[in-house]
Each structure stands twice: as structure tokens, then as C-alpha cells.
């Protein structure tokens, strides 16, 4: 069955005057080899950073996952090596799931090794990953306009014909989706509704905890999306030629971690 975005909802979007802001706390030197995603591991007091370190979709074996301390001072760029063009990440228990072109690498966090790789049938460009509180993994295929579900390490097609699909975030029984410029919610019955239309394509998605979200656009924009359909522009770095890819968020400290992709840094901002 095909699932199309456009028939489900008509959404009016409004900008609002700034109510929130991002204050920079720190940024690394330009030593991070094309970072695409940052995933905080609050239990282990570390940040995982996916490193493309090559062409964005090249199966060249140059990619990996780095470890970075939450204060930005300690960096290990060779924690996991031998991946291709890794992008989105998600974790459950001792396992870290990483989207890597046409397969999902599963990393044993304690051992620091790739435990296995889950091949996704016909995958063309796996991009973002989110994991539910029950360990169910969702991964987007941006090139094939599909979303896959992985349960007990077995993949199955969840949604198709999701034009421009990129960022994903599971919140309770809902799946939030960045589909081009559309911020979309899929409920447990896969019913789609468009929440907000942004001026730029959506990459990173992070819930603030009150029904609002922080959304990024790869080109170098960060937005604050209100539950009522309005949004604010929090940050623009495109003029500095710094991207804002798949962010991480610490909700307790309200810190946003931003991988700048071609900027080759990770930056931290406090949300106020």
C-alpha cells in the first residue's frame, strides 16, 4: 500500500517573533571528519558523532563514529572505523544503530566494535535513524522515499512514497518525519498529518519536551517549531558556510549539539 503525504492535511504555518534563542557554549576545532549526526549518550557521559570523511554517498570505507566529551574537550575520531558514509544514529541498551547507505551497522557500545550489519532490501540512501523506548528502529531512505522498520533485527517496509524523507524521531506512539520542507506526524495507524511547513528542507528533529521541537535544515538553519504550528528561526549559519545537520539534544541541560558537516566541527548551544 502506498502512503502519500499531500492528501492528508492542509497546514497553515506562521512565523512568530523570537521567544527562544541559542547561546553558543563551545565549538571544536576543524578536526571532525565531516560530521553528519550527533547522538548524546547521557548515561555514559559522551557524544557519538557519525563521520562521513569522504563522499556523502560513497561506499569507500572511510567513515566511522567518533566519541566526543559533552564539554567538547576530549575527542576520539577513531572509536569506530571502516564504515562508508554513516549518517543518523539511535541507541537502545548497549547497542548503537547507524545508517550506512544500504545497511544499518549495529555497534556494541561497551566493546566498541561493529556487532553486525543489517541489510535493507533495495536501499539506496539510508539517512536518519530513531529508536523507540521498546527498541524498535526506524530508518529513512532519502533516495528511495521510504521508511523502514527494524524489529528484532529484521527489517520491513513501514512507509513509502514519502517524498524528501530525511529526519525521523519516535515519540511515544508517533513517528515525526522531516519530508522535504514538511514536518509530518505518522500515528500508530500510519495516518499522516502535516504539522508545519518550513522554508528549508528538514534534517534534524529533536523534541523539547512540551510538544515543541527543534528542527534543522542541512543548509545552515535551526528552527524552533511550536506545537500550535508556528515557528521561529533560532540560528542561521549558511552565510558562514557552516551546515547544521542531524543535531543532538540534552533536554535536562537544554543543550543542542550541532554537527556542521562541511564545517568539520561540532558546536554546542544552550536553548533559552
DSSP string, 134-150: TS-EEEEETTTTEEEEE
Residue 76 contacts by C-beta under 8 Å, 6 or more apart in sequence?
A: 66, 67, 68
Per-residue pLDDT of the chain (272 residues; tens, 9 = 90+): 333 443 333 344 555 666 999 999 999 999 999 999 999 999 999 999 999 999 999 999 999 999 999 999 999 999 999 999 999 999 999 999 999 999 999 999 999 999 999 999 999 999 999 999 999 999 999 999 999 999 999 999 999 999 999 999 999 999 999 999 999 999 999 999 999 999 999 999 999 999 999 999 999 999 999 999 999 999 999 989 899 999 999 999 999 999 999 999 999 999 99
What pLDDT sits at residue 4?
40
Q: Which domains does the chain have, with CATH numbers?
A: 14-271 (2.120.10.30)
List beta partners, residue 130.
138
Nearest 10 degrees: Cα torsion 120, 125, 126, 128: -160
Residue 252 DSSP one-character state = T
CB burial class (10 A; 0-12, 13-18, 19+) of residue 135?
A: middle
* Three-class DSSP category at 240: helix
Q: How far apart are CA 179 and CA 200, in angstroms?
A: 11
What pLDDT sits at residue 256?
98
- Total-model pTM: 0.94
8 Å CB contact between 176 and 187: no
Amino acid at each position: 500500500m502506498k502512503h502519500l503525504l499531500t492528501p492528508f492535511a492542509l497546514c497553515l504555518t506562521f512565523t512568530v517573533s523570537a521567544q527562544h534563542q541559542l547561546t553558543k557554549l563551545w565549538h571544536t576545532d576543524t578536526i571532525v571528519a565531516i560530521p553528519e549526526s550527533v547522538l548524546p549518550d547521557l548515561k555514559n557521559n559522551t557524544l557519538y558523532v557519525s563521520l562521513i570523511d569522504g563522499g556523502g554517498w560513497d561506499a569507500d570505507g572511510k567513515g566511522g563514529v567518533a566519541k566526543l566529551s559533552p564539554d567538547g574537550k576530549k575527542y576520539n575520531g577513531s572509536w569506530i572505523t571502516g564504515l562508508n558514509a554513516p549518517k543518523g544514529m539511535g541507541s537502545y541498551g548497549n547497542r548503537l544503530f547507524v545508517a550506512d547507505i544500504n545497511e544499518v551497522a549495529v555497534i556494541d557500545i561497551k566493546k566498541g566494535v561493529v556487532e553486525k550489519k543489517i541489510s535493507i532490501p533495495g536501499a539506496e540512501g539510508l539517512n536518519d535513524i530513531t529508536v523507540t523506548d521498546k527498541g524498535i528502529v526506524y530508518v529513512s531512505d532519502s533516495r528511495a522515499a521510504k521508511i523502514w522498520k527494524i524489529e528484532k533485527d529484521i527489517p520491513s517496509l513501514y512507509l513509502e512514497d514519502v517524498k524528501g524523507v530525511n529526519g525521523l524521531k519516535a515519540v511515544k506512539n508517533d513517528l515525526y518525519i522531516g519530508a522535504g520542507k514538511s514536518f509530518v506526524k505518522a500515528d500508530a495507524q500510519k495516518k499522516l498529518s502535516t504539522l508545519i511547513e518550513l522554508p528549508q528542507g528538514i534534517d534534524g528533529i529533536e523534541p523539547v519536551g512540551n510538544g515543541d521541537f527543534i528542527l534543522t535544515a542541512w543548509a545552515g538553519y535551526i528552527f524552533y517549531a511550536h506545537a500550535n504550528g508556528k515557528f521561529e528561526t533560532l540560528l542561521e549559519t549558511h552565510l558562514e558556510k557552516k551546515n547544521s545537520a542531524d543535531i543532538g539534544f540534552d533536554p535536562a541541560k537544554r543543550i543542542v549539539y550541532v554537527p556542521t558537516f562541511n564545517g568539520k566541527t561540532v558546536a554546542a548551544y544552550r536553548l533559552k
